[in-house]
Amino acid sequence: MISREKIELLFRENFAERGELGAAVSIWKNGEPFLGLHGGFRDAHRQQPWTDDTIVLVWSATKGIGSACLLHAMQENKIAPARRVAEFWPEFGQNGKREITIAQLLSHSAGLCALDHNADVVDYAAVIASLQEQAPFWPPGTAHGYHARTFGFLIDELTRRITSASISAYWRSVFAEPLRLDFWIGLPRELNERCATIYAAKAGRAPEPAQFYRDLATRGTLQHKTFTSPRGLHAVSAMNKPENRALDIVSFGGIGSAHALAKFYAMLANGGELDGRRFFTPPTIALITSTITDGIDRVFEIATAFSAGFMKNSAYSQRHIFGDSPAAFGQPGAGGSTAFADPENNIAFAYVMNQMEQTLLPNEKSLRLVDAVYR
């Protein structure tokens, strides 16, 4: 039995002892909301309390939303993940990419984590042109490495080729509106007044893993290339500007509430069905839960694992980030946000915040809550 009291105590400790500024957590069980908490402030001046309707940037947690859209488009058009990307996006097949499969693209094993011919992240057409010309950084399917910035563009363009709709539009029409989800990829200007300000990590203890952060700071490394291409919007503060919040950047631009994220993952945990409506078939859920690649990540330089579009608990890591079930899957975001589904136990979890920490994967502020759910 999950202890509401224990989770609430740990959540409050995040503010009292762990430097949290503003945050919210949402937990669902058996397709129903189990617990929702929020606290703190939307701004560093502590003048705007975090309320029930506060929304916030979740960075790469957006990738899970985007992947679900592509997987749904594949399901509806009866497209198997073993199909080649170039069948639907012919220009993609240049420079050693003709045989790359959709499964390889979704599992971060296509070798396209960076761009040699860089383009501006706000110039969608230029980024797509660069991706079409790009040669893989490793033989596709032989290794994996987190596609931090390119991933959203790759799955967005493939979704457009299949459906003639962007992921942002597909998300609103297929999922967000039917499920009444307060989550946006491209925030309408009138919603800015509800949005928390996001803050960069404060200086303090050395970031982990140390080798990754050393390589990230070294020009010319794969890590540096990965996190600087497409170029632009590198400053955290830039994402507080309304004009940048309005951009539909699938890699890292999603803005919403913990409740919305958890409700969406509750649908995935519930076999693809919620509110009397089925969104995903069992074969698609099986794609999401089944690990495709696991081992040392060429970008992160630690063990990571991926299914078709979602991160998994790695068999080579001692610290599970999505609970105890081998069926669990999710997607974290930079600085501490995270969301996941556990179909085995029908649990969904989301944590969002506005004071980032310098960590690759979910930090102890949310992981302590996840541990409490399972123990």
pTM (two decimals): 0.97
Give tens-digit pLDDT for 92-127.
999 999 999 999 999 999 999 999 999 999 999 999
What domain range includes position 242? 4-61+165-374
- pLDDT (mean) for 40-61: 98
Q: Does position 206 have pLDDT exceeding 80, yes or no? A: no
Q: Report angle CA 238, 243, 244 to the nearest 5 degrees.
A: 45
107 domain residue, yes or no? no
Q: What is the CA radius of gyration of the chain?
A: 19
158-176 b/e (C-beta count within 10 Å ≥ 16 → b): bbbbbbebbbbbbbbebbb
102 domain residue, yes or no? no
User: Which residue, among 160, 175, 185, has the nearest Cα to 273 in the 3D structure?
Assistant: 175
Q: Does position 2 have pLDDT exceeding 90, yes or no? A: no
Answer yes or no: are the C-beta atoms of 307 and 322 closer than 8 Å. Answer: no
Give tens-digit pLDDT for 157-192.
999 999 999 999 999 999 999 999 999 999 999 999
Give tens-digit pLDDT for 230-280.
999 999 999 999 999 999 999 999 999 999 999 999 999 999 999 999 999
Rounded Cα–Cα distance for residues 324 and 371 (Å): 9
Strand partners, 341: 329, 348
Rounded Cα–Cα distance for residues 280 and 270 (Å): 10
Q: Which two tokens stand for residue 333?
A: 């975001």
- pLDDT (mean) for 142-163: 98
Rounded Cα–Cα distance for residues 237 and 78 (Å): 42
Instruction: Work out the pLDDT band at 307, boundaries 50, 70, 90.
Output: very high
Instruction: Work out the pLDDT band at 343, boundaries 50, 70, 90.
Output: very high
pLDDT at res. 130: 98
Rounded Cα–Cα distance for residues 198 and 136 (Å): 33
Coil/strand/helix, residue 296:
strand
Answer yes or no: are the C-beta atoms of 335 and 357 closer than 8 Å. Answer: yes
Q: Does position 360 have pLDDT exceeding 80, yes or no? A: no
Number of domains into which the chain is organized: 1
pLDDT at res. 83: 98
CB neighbour list of residue 74: distance below 8 Å, 6 or more residues apart: 80, 81, 102, 162, 284
Q: What Cα–Cα distance (Å) separates residue 33 from each residue in 28, 37, 369?
A: 4, 11, 16
- pLDDT (mean) for 319-327: 94
Instruction: Work out the pLDDT band at 359, boundaries 50, 70, 90.
Output: confident
355 domain residue, yes or no? yes
Rounded Cα–Cα distance for residues 88 and 162 (Å): 7
Instruction: Work out the pLDDT band at 354, boundaries 50, 70, 90.
Output: very high
Backbone angles phi, psi at 37, to 5 degrees: -135, 150
Place of tokens 């952060």: 213
- pLDDT (mean) for 282-304: 98
Rounded Cα–Cα distance for residues 36 and 183 (Å): 16
83 domain residue, yes or no? no
- pLDDT (mean) for 345-370: 95
76 domain residue, yes or no? no
Q: Does position 210 have pLDDT exceeding 90, yes or no? A: no
239 domain residue, yes or no? yes
pLDDT at res. 203: 80
- pLDDT (mean) for 323-350: 97
131 domain residue, yes or no? no
Q: Report angle CA 62, 57, 153 to the nearest 5 degrees.
A: 35
For residue 139, cis peptide bond before it (omega within 30 degrees of 0): no
82 domain residue, yes or no? no
Give tens-digit pLDDT for 14-29.
999 999 999 999 999 9
Q: Does position 301 have pLDDT exceeding 80, yes or no? A: yes
Tell me, what CATH number does 303's domain have?
3.40.710.10
